[in-house]
Amino acid sequence: MLPSNGKKIKTVHNYHMTMRELIELVDYLKEKYSRHWHIVVLTQFGLGLRASEVLAIQIFDIDQEITKVDYRQAKTNKIIHDEPIPKWLQPILKEYISDNIQTFKDGYIFPKLKGKIAYYTTPVYSAFFSKWRKNLAKKTKNKAWVEKYEDYEGEGQVRYRIGSHSLRRLHRTVMLKKYPDHVHVVKELCHYQDLSSFMRYINTFEIREKAADFINGAFSDFVPDLHLNADQTRLSRF
């Protein structure tokens, strides 16, 4: 399908980033930006929060051991208490907080270094993601960074595949990939009321890539026993 600018877009409903792309993003931010930026990206991915939720975290929301955090859900305004912080993220946050606590304006752990904004806002964060996408597409020669899709649930709006919300989706995908037989447990840990809402966040890249192997494997036991004779050749037209 072609949008108004004449560029071809994908109509597949899949708007996820991969772990490889996350690593490329973090490495790029470490090289080009102050550590605030890659820390906020890692924190959003590690906790699986929305951009507005992670940007609103204050120092008193985190326990002294840096093992749990309280946050307010953006859509429901419900306060989630004692959300576990992954072990791999704990030392990263601990060092970051220790080194930057004097700069936490109004208690926000991700304050803006310059200007009048007291902390990183969602529009500022989204604007930087737009810049990162373009720069990474040039740096990695990978056009997937600026890949677009048509969001049918968003009334046909054309969106970039990778954005800040992709970190939240990737978080859910990693959890379910690790525990595929415990989808309902993962759903509860991610605080979803119904399974259908949760499954919208799951990355289907690997499913599509393995489709042929999956289908062939499923029918391998009896398909070889199906043989068409001369009178059955009409079946091949279906």
pLDDT at position 55 over 80 = yes
Residue from 146, 140, 201, 148 nearest 170 by CA: 201
CB neighbour list of residue 138: distance below 8 Å, 6 or more residues apart: none
Q: Which residue ranges form the domains of the chain, and what is each CATH number?
A: 1-212 (1.10.443.10)
The chain-wide mean pLDDT, for the chain, equals: 76
Q: Average pLDDT in the 18-42 region?
A: 91
Note the pTM of the prediction, 2 decimals: 0.73
d(CA 156, CA 144) in angstroms, rounded, equals 20
Which phi and psi angles does 123 have, rounded to 5°?
A: -60, -40
List the end-to-end C-alpha distance of the chain, in Å, as a whole number: 28
- Listed in sequence order, the DSSP H helices in the chain are 19-32, 35-47, 51-55, 90-100, 122-140, 164-178, 183-189, 195-199, 205-209, 211-218
State the pLDDT confidence band at 97, using cuts at 50, 70 and 90.
very high
State the pLDDT confidence band at 224, using cuts at 50, 70 and 90.
very low
| 10 bridge partner residues | 149
Q: Average pLDDT in the 127-131 region?
A: 90
Coil, strand or helix: which one is 79?
strand
pLDDT at position 200 over 70 = no
What pLDDT is attached to residue 90? 94
Residue from 127, 67, 129 nearest 97 by CA: 67
What pLDDT is attached to residue 234? 44
